[in-house]
Chains A and B, each alone.
Chain A
Amino acid sequence: MTNNGRKIKIQVQNLTKRFGDLLVLNNISFNVYEGEFLCIVGPTGCGKTTFLNVLTKLHPATEGDIYIDGEPANPQKHNISFVFQEPSTMPWLTVEQNIRYGLEVKKVPEEEIKKRLNQVMELVGLKDFRNYYPRQLSASMDQRVVIARAFAINPDLLLMDEPYSQLDIKLRYYLEDEVIRIWREMKRTVIFVTHNIEEAVYLAERILILTPKPATIKKEIKVDLPRPRNFADPEFVNIRNQVTEMIKWW
Chain B
Amino acid sequence: MNAKASPAEIFSRFLPLTSLLLIIIVWQFAATGGYFGKSLPSPVAVVNQFVDMLAEPVGKTILGGHIWASMRRVLTAFAVAVLIGIPMGLLMGWNKKAEAIIKPIFEIFRPIPPIAWIPLAILWFGIEETPKVFICFIGAFIPAVMNAYTGIRFTDPLLLDAARSQGANLRQLFKEVAVPSALPAIFAGLQNGLSLCWMCVLAAEMVGAEEGVGYLILRGMDMSNPAMIITGMLIIGAVGALIAVGLRYVERWVCPWKREISM
Bound Cα distance from A182 to B2, whole angstroms: 47
Subset of 3 A-B contacts with CB under 8 Å: A20-B1, A20-B2, A21-B2
Where chain B touches its partner, the secondary structure class is loop
Bound Cα distance from A20 to B2, whole angstroms: 6
A-B Cβ contacts below 8 A, count? 3
Chain B nearest CB, measured from A7 CB (Å): 41
CB neighbours (8 Å) of B2 from chain A are 20-21
Bound Cα distance from A20 to B1, whole angstroms: 7
Q: How many residues of B contact A (CB 8 A)?
A: 2
CB neighbours (8 Å) of A20 from chain B are 1-2
- Mark A1-27 against chain B: 1 for CB-CB distance below 8 A, else 0: 000000000000000000011000000
Interface size class of A (residues with CB under 8 A): under 10
Chain A nearest CB, measured from B2 CB (Å): 4
Which residues of B1-50 have CB atoms within 8 Å of chain A's CB atoms? 1-2
Chain B nearest CB, measured from A174 CB (Å): 32
Chain B nearest CB, measured from A49 CB (Å): 19
Chain B nearest CB, measured from A60 CB (Å): 15
Please, which residue of chain A has its CB at the minimum distance from the CB of B1?
A20
Bound Cα distance from A21 to B1, whole angstroms: 9
Bound Cα distance from A20 to B3, whole angstroms: 9
Bound Cα distance from A21 to B2, whole angstroms: 7
CB neighbours (8 Å) of B1 from chain A are 20
Chain A nearest CB, measured from B229 CB (Å): 49
Q: Which 3 A-B pairs have the closest CB atoms?
A: A20-B2, A20-B1, A21-B2
CB neighbours (8 Å) of A21 from chain B are 2
- Mark A98-118 against chain B: 1 for CB-CB distance below 8 A, else 0: 000000000000000000000
Please, which residue of chain B has its CB at the minimum distance from the CB of A22?
B1
Chain A nearest CB, measured from B42 CB (Å): 45
Chain B nearest CB, measured from A27 CB (Å): 21
